[in-house]
Amino acid sequence: MKIDDIKAAHARKKKSIEERLSYFERVGRGSGREVFAELCFCILTPQTKARVADTAIKKLVETGALYSAGAFEIEKALLWAGVRFHRNKSKYIVLAREKFCSRDYCAVLEILPKNEEGQREMRDFIAGNVLGIGKKEAGHFLRNVGHGSSLAILDRHILKNLKSAGVIAAVPSSLTHKKYDEIEKKMRDFCRKNKIPMHHLDLLFWSAETGEIFK
């Protein structure tokens, strides 16, 4: 997508994007269990389609297994939904639950940061303390609970479109922390120059690849 196409697409989809972002903010203001479920969704997304991960999480929430079951029972639900690497991811969910949840309450984040620097610091904390979560997934989680407006979620869809827009010269074969930060800065500068919020551009690019504004 070239810049004129990006701006035109943003104008067409801006209302739908804002509605989705408002939904994310409501999730972030919801119960601790809702926020924890969103964290678990982001644990499932690597190498797995978002819709598949969402189906698995909804099933686990519906049965209560997300908050009480052992790794084997969670693994069966992930396998049923079609989540890749279900065995490891079921263990990551249990470990995250042990870290953030008590019997009746989950507290992933007591106070979510509101400024840009705070968002990046919280992302690094999550990536460093939750197994199965890297920078991309930690940013994804924060965006999905209304606190990732200044963070890039550099999956293959976003990288492909950043290259198409001329923001980066090529899609990297791998993303080190340094390379991630470099591309994120380029995306942030591009968004500021063209007056498109970063979390808007993420959903815009994602919808261009998948045909929907989801999460």
Q: Which of 4, 5, 104, 155 is catalytic?
A: 155
135 and 173 in a common domain: no
What is the reported pLDDT for 113? 53
196 and 172 in a common domain: yes
Residue 215 lies in a domain: no
107 and 61 in a common domain: yes
- The closest of 149, 147, 135, 144 to 183, measured between CA atoms, is 135
Beta-bridged to residue 101, according to DSSP, are: 106
Beta-bridged to residue 106, according to DSSP, are: 101
Residue 87 lies in a domain: yes
CATH number, domain of 22, equals: 1.10.1670.10
d(CA 13, CA 200): 9
70 and 135 in a common domain: yes
159 and 134 in a common domain: no
Q: At residue 112, what are phi and psi to the nearest 5 degrees?
A: -85, 140
Range of the domain at 44: 30-144
* Structural Rg of the chain based on CA atoms: 17
Residue 165 lies in a domain: yes
108 and 181 in a common domain: no
CATH number, domain of 59, equals: 1.10.340.30
Final residue before a domain boundary, out of 125, 144, 163: 144
Q: Which of 89, 135, 136, 215 is catalytic?
A: 136
- The closest of 39, 34, 45 to 82, measured between CA atoms, is 45
Final residue before a domain boundary, out of 108, 124, 144: 144
What is the reported pLDDT for 111? 52
**Whether 163 is catalytic:** no
What is the reported pLDDT for 93? 98
117 and 42 in a common domain: yes
> Is this prediction's pTM over 0.75?
yes
What is the reported pLDDT for 112? 52
Give residues with Cβ within 8 angstroms of 169, minimum separation 6.
Answer: 163
One digit per residue, the tens of pLDDT, for the chain of length 215 reads 789 999 999 999 999 999 999 999 999 999 999 999 999 999 999 999 999 999 999 999 999 999 999 999 999 999 999 999 999 999 999 999 999 998 778 888 665 555 667 899 889 889 988 999 999 999 999 999 999 999 999 998 999 999 999 999 999 999 999 999 999 999 999 999 999 999 999 999 999 988 899 99
**Whether 2 is catalytic:** no
127 and 47 in a common domain: yes
What is the reported pLDDT for 116? 61
**How many domains does the structure of the chain reveal?**
2
d(CA 112, CA 151): 14
What is the reported pLDDT for 13? 96
